[in-house]
Amino acid sequence: MRVVIQRVTKASVTVGDELISSIGRGLCVLVGISKDDTPKEQEYLAKKVQNLRVFDDENGKRWCKSVKDKNFEILCVSQFTLYAVMKGNKPDFHNAMPGEESKKFYEEFLTILRKNYKEDKVKDGKFGEYMQVHIQNDGPVTIPLEAMPDIHFQMTENRTTPRSASGSKTPVAVVRGQPHDRTIERASHYISLLTTSFDGDIDKQQEFLHTLQDYTQGNIQHIPELMLTVIDILPNEKQLLCGFSGFLPQGFSIFVEGDELEQLRIRCPAVEDMTIQQLKDHVQDIKGNAAGASPPVVCKPTRAMEELILQLTRLLPS
């Protein structure tokens, strides 16, 4: 879930010639909802919106008062385009939550805001309509925030010990922390799913780790080749494959267009969405540097991937 918070002197939403909502001083909050979001993200960002200190106090001291402290207003506007990813030069919104489900989720977010503040102080636009949003930014002050969902993972409560490589049934459980903790949390959750999927199969887990290490050492030089290798290691693990996208650089992802694994698709920058066979051909083009081949895409490991490698190295026997 993503929000873009703007400190405003006034803001309003109209649909056609109809004024839907307007506020004076306060916050205008653009709200994006991903297909993986849960109530945890609602609660986290609702608290952040209400407690974010972007206003001055009565003595002019800056950055010390929240919208609640000042008794100002909040205008929320749903905006699925916050989850756009580029498909060539065209934005694609497959990561956003679908319409009806998103509407319910958004309304629940508003309910939390109103419950924790004052109902008449929290206003919104008109979900699903073509809106004109008029924002008079004060400063300007614009702050984007994101609450990362536990993508595809269901964690067992009251467990705090990482699962061992020997096949222990104890899963990894991490208390949701501040944003700077999310990289550690994401890696821990992924390892939990990995060890659950390959219970007792240490060789498979080590093969996955060695693949990531090969990439960091330059033996695998391109992200597409890394993605293909991971798909070969995890051929029937839809959750693991889709979850692996969270460790790739921006613009690269693995996703399933429907419920079937045969609908697996791979996305790379400046390349149309590919099937597994098309990815194999793409990798061969890169390796062979054939005429007309796509240019090689060489990237350093992301911070999330480095954390994943670190945790796996500690967990698995050398």
Q: Which of 79, 195, 205, 229 is catalytic?
A: 79
Ramachandran angles phi, psi of 221, nearest 5°: -95, -15
DSSP run (H or E) holding 145 = strand 132-146
The yes-or-no answer on residue 81 being catalytic is yes
DSSP run (H or E) holding 215 = helix 202-216
Tokens of 2: 């993503």
Tokens of 316: 């698995």
DSSP run (H or E) holding 28 = strand 26-32
Q: Which of 80, 105, 208, 247 is catalytic?
A: 80
Residues 6+ apart with CB under 8 A from 161: 170
Please name every residue paired with 268 in a beta bridge, in sequence order, or none if there are none.
Answer: 271
Gap between the Cα atoms of 30 and 53, Å rounded: 18
DSSP one-letter code for 195: H
The yes-or-no answer on residue 79 being catalytic is yes
Give 3-state DSSP helix, strand, coil % of the chain, rounded to 5: 40, 25, 35
Sign of CA dihedral 43, 45, 46, 50: positive
For the residues of 24-60, what is the DSSP string, one character each? SSEEEEEEE-BTT--HHHHHHHHHHHHH---B--TT-
Ramachandran angles phi, psi of 229, nearest 5°: -65, -40
Residues 6+ apart with CB under 8 A from 2: 31, 32, 34, 82, 83, 144, 145, 146, 147
Q: Which of 38, 81, 263, 284 is catalytic?
A: 81
Gap between the Cα atoms of 273 and 264, Å rounded: 10
Catalytically active residues are: 79-81
